[in-house]
Structure 1
Amino acid sequence: MKTYAYKRELRLLTPADFQSVFDARPKKFSCRYYTILAAKSNFDKPRLGFTISKKKARFAVQRNKIKRVARDSFRLQQHELPNVDMVFIAKQGIALASNETLRHELEYTWKKIKRHMKS
């Protein structure tokens, strides 16, 4: 039975985790609101980390909303994604995007990642 929890093992937590993605010549998957850097992983599950600066989303409420929407979308797609480490980098204007728009963009991005990062 598949579980759709977003547990600790599905997150990039330490600076070393993030640095390994940046150093691995990651593939870039972009839209107008964010860029996702994806690099092959030695783990048996995909992992996701976030970098959302105060310049991109000024208030904590906005940053938390973005992370909540992205985490939920990732949680539902985790069993179909290849074993990659991903870093979500917010772009200017993401704070003004609606939840629906972010979900739609993320669904499209997950499809691109599945197609280009096959294990």
Structure 2
Amino acid sequence: MDTPSLDEIIAKSPVVVHSERFAYLQTDNPPSDGCFAVVTDADETTVIAPEKRVPDIPHQKVEKWFRLLEFQIIVPFKGVGFLATIAKTLADQEMNILICSTFSKDFFLVHEEDLETAVRALIERGFTIHQEN
């Protein structure tokens, strides 16, 4: 089976807008559960967690007010240009983004104040948007 075109991939890959706000935390003591992601490299550990968890997580730095956009790509690992297209679509709106990927999904975090603009730009690019219940 041939890989669909980028436009076909975009049209068939729904985007879920999560209702909860998220925060990025720099920590030396990440929690074992209740977080969206924990990323550790040689220099630091970063936790992405629902904002309501911030008081429970010891941290050195925190950035708040992010909303999570979940891209459910129909062909993981085969959508050449997929992430670049999303990033460019949002960059053209002059917004900063943060990206996190799992095996079969890509997640973009945007500041809550940019959410409406981001959703509108993604719809114009051909994405189908769903609100989390």
Tell me the TM-score range normalised by the shorter chain: under 0.3
| Bigger strand fraction | 2
| Bigger helix fraction | 1
Higher Rg of the two aligned structures: 2
Taking structure 1 as the reference length, the TM-score comes to 0.28
Taking structure 2 as the reference length, the TM-score comes to 0.26
